Amino acid sequence: MQTVGLIHTLEQCLDRMQTVGLIHTLEQCLNRMQTVGLIHTLEQCLNRMQTVGLIHTLEQCLNRMQTMGLIHTLEQCLNRMQTVGLIHTLEQCLNRMQTVGLIHTLEQCLNRMQTVGLIHTLEQCLNRMQTMGLIHTLEQCLNRMQTVGLIHTLEQCLNRMQTVGLIHTLEQCLNRMQTVGLIHTLEQCLNRMQTVGLIHTLEQCLNRMQTVGLIHTLEQCLNRMQTVGLIHTLEQCLNRMQTVGLIHTLEQCLNRMQTVGLIHTLEQCLNRMQTVGLIHTLEQCLNRMQTVGLIHTLEQCLNRMQTVGLIHTLEQCLNRMQTVGLIHTVEQCLNRMQTVGLIHTLEQCLNRMQTVGLIHTLEQCLNRMQTVGLIHTLEQCLNRMQTVGLIHTLEQCLNRMQTVGLIHTLEQCLNRMQTACVAPSG
């Protein structure tokens, strides 16, 4: 038809067919073309339209289809294309559109779809794609988008989705992804994002989420993750983040969270965890850590804290625990540590504290305990140690203190007790 000069543009063709009453809807058009054997696949259709110069850009196509009233919603379009057997998978669609030069970037696609009123929300898009069987998993989607060059970085994706008004909050995003069955666990999400090269570091992720306004506070993040069931235990979260290489040390994590403004102090973190119901007491915290197998002995705990550089001295540790209200008395501390099986004997405690370099002399220990208000009298100290079964006789105490190198002579002991102004029982 183009060769003999009877028609020059698709617009002229469609205009004429509509004018003379030969066709009224895209459905009629596609049905007829398929019935008379003029077209069998979308590839044949797009190839031919491009070859004879009837269409050059997706924009021209969508503009014209909307202008003439041939299509009003993306749902109608996708439904029909699937019904008449023109397309079966999203992969075929994206492959073909890219091959014939109809679309080059996701930005062009989203811009155009929004402009001509074919789609308004991500929910509509994802709902429809899932309903028609065009996409089944987030993995398929991300794989394909990356393969055909429609998207290269998560930043481009999030920027664009926010710009065209497809998504506004992380809550909407997570809610929808879970609802349509695109993602079920944080593991699937993190695994996939790393595999397809959309994100490489937690820093990139948090930076970007904050920049595009998808998340503002750790509170929103923790609340949402818990609500939509993406994460259930601290173990799952930390295990997964480390496995996929998003984070290597707890220090990196806390540093980064503070840098991007998600959290400023450990106090805020602990306060928030308590507020959203993730933890209420030190007892719950220690119980949980032991239950999920994150820690079994005080040795593991102290070793790890020192290894990642989060704590260097007992003073820092005790100061912080007292500041955020997790512990008020040494009695509470010793009671709990014994209850959850983290420590059983004073020997284990003193041995370990000396080994990891948290304390070197009894003087440092007594000075600090008195300074932070954890203990006021030697009587309270000895009474409590005996009550919880950590020590039974003064002989055991002095023997042990001398053995681990904390004190060498009774004279040193008495001198120190006097120097530190430890009050006698009264």
pLDDT in tens, 212-253: 444 444 444 445 444 544 444 444 444 544 454 444 444 444
Would the pLDDT of 28 be above 50?
yes
pLDDT at 56: 44
Over residues 134-139, the mean pLDDT reads 44
Tell me 278's DSSP state: S
pLDDT at 367: 53
Tell me the C-alpha distance between 348 and 412, whole Å: 23
Q: Which residues contact 276 (CB under 8 A, 6 or more apart)?
A: 219, 222, 223, 226
Enumerate the H helices of 8-100 as residue ranges.
10-19, 26-35, 42-51, 58-67, 74-83, 90-99
3-state helix, strand, coil in the chain (%, to 5): 60, 0, 40
Over residues 351-358, the mean pLDDT reads 49
Q: Which residues contact 403 (CB under 8 A, 6 or more apart)?
A: none
- Provide the pLDDT confidence category of residue 324 given band limits of 50, 70 and 90: very low
Would the pLDDT of 19 be above 50?
yes
Would the pLDDT of 327 be above 50?
no
Is the entire prediction scored with pTM above 0.75? no
pLDDT in tens, 365-383: 555 455 544 444 444 545 5
pLDDT at 329: 47
Report the mean per-residue pLDDT for the chain: 47
pLDDT in tens, 194-218: 454 444 444 444 444 445 444 444 4
Over residues 180-203, the mean pLDDT reads 46
Paired tokens of 185: 């666990």
- Provide the pLDDT confidence category of residue 346 given band limits of 50, 70 and 90: very low
204-240 exposure pattern, b = at least 16 Cβ within 10 A, e = fewer: ebbebbeebebbeebbebbbbbeebebbeebeebeeb
Distance of CA 408 to the CA centre of its chain: 53
Would the pLDDT of 386 be above 50?
yes
Tell me 220's DSSP state: H
12-24 exposure pattern, b = at least 16 Cβ within 10 A, e = fewer: eebeeebeeeebe
- Provide the pLDDT confidence category of residue 403 given band limits of 50, 70 and 90: low
Own/partner contacts of 262-269, CB < 8 Å, gap of 24 or more, are 262/206, 262/210, 262/215, 262/217, 262/218, 262/221, 263/218, 266/320, 266/324, 267/323, 267/324, 268/218, 269/218
Tell me the C-alpha distance between 366 and 374, whole Å: 10
pLDDT in tens, 92-133: 554 544 554 444 444 454 454 455 444 444 445 545 545 544
Phi (first) and psi of residue 423, to 5 degrees: -70, 140
Tell me the C-alpha distance between 294 and 166, whole Å: 40
- Provide the pLDDT confidence category of residue 355 given band limits of 50, 70 and 90: low
- Provide the pLDDT confidence category of residue 48 given band limits of 50, 70 and 90: low
Would the pLDDT of 286 be above 50?
no
Residue 377: strand, helix, or coil: strand
Over residues 182-202, the mean pLDDT reads 46
Would the pLDDT of 44 be above 50?
yes
> What residue spans define the domains of the chain?
1-119, 300-426
Share of the chain above pLDDT 70, in %: 0
- Provide the pLDDT confidence category of residue 34 given band limits of 50, 70 and 90: low
